[in-house]
Amino acid sequence: MKLKIEELEWSVWLLIIIPLCGITFYLWGIATALLLSLLLVPIILVVKNELIKRQFSWKPSYSVGVAIFDDEHKKLFALILQMHRALKHMPSKEEARAVLIELKKYTESHFSQEEAMMEKHGYPDIEKHKMEHKEMISKVQEFQKDFESNDVAVSKETLRYLQNWLTHHILVTDKKYSDFFQSKGER
């Protein structure tokens, strides 16, 4: 499995920071070691946050060529990022639940809009596409179950699955309708 810097726990960072400060102390003294430790923590925080933001963000290469769907995909990524942060920083269960409900509602609404446009224009691959949407909805429901059972570790794993699923679905399945919708005048 690929090691991701942004996913390293603070206990792992401490195993790196402490020996590093120890070496600095040995070579350059206490003042430099203290300065290094004070600088490293905020730097790690900023880098971790930036990497997580990038990982959970929509990118121009994800564009499906139809503005309304690109906007909805952006919103879906934003909601998954919000959920990720909610799980990480442990706000009240109610706050996290509100994000989850919005994620579920927004996902369903987005899928309905895509399917409606497919039906309107007679998109040939509609049934296969709908099956993938169903799979995502059931995964969101599973995520809701994990969340309500208070199993944060499982929730984080399911959330990662949702993010990967969404990226793959947009890049592979949604991209397939791009030329078709554009040929029907949808932009």
Q: Site residues (CB under 6 A) for ligand FEO?
A: 69, 73, 110-111, 114, 129, 133, 169-170, 173-174
**DSSP annotation string for 22-65:** HHHHHHH-HHHHHHHHHHHHHHHHHHHHHHHHHHTS--GGG--S
Residue nearest to ligand FEO (CB): 174
Q: How far is the CB of 141 from ligand FEO (least distance, A)?
A: 17
Distance, in Å, from the CA atom of 161 to the CA atom of 17, rounded to the nearest integer, reads 31
Closer by beta carbon to ligand FEO, 11 or else 61: 61
Q: How far is the CB of 28 from ligand FEO (least distance, A)?
A: 54
CB atoms under 10 Å from CB of 125, counted, come to: 12
Closer by beta carbon to ligand FEO, 33 or else 56: 56
Closer by beta carbon to ligand FEO, 97 or else 175: 175
- Tokens representing 106 are 């927004």
Side-chain-side CA neighbours of 27 within 13 Å: the count stands at: 9
Measured between alpha carbons, how far apart are the two ends of the chain, in Å?
A: 39
> Residue 122: enclosing H or E segment and its boundaries?
none
Q: How far is the CB of 69 from ligand FEO (least distance, A)?
A: 6
Q: How far is the CB of 75 from ligand FEO (least distance, A)?
A: 11
Closer by beta carbon to ligand FEO, 95 or else 125: 125
Residue 114: is it exposed, middle or buried by C-beta count within 10 angstroms (0-12/13-18/19+)? buried
Distance, in Å, from the CA atom of 48 to the CA atom of 158, rounded to the nearest integer, reads 20
Q: How far is the CB of 181 from ligand FEO (least distance, A)?
A: 12
Closer by beta carbon to ligand FEO, 48 or else 75: 75
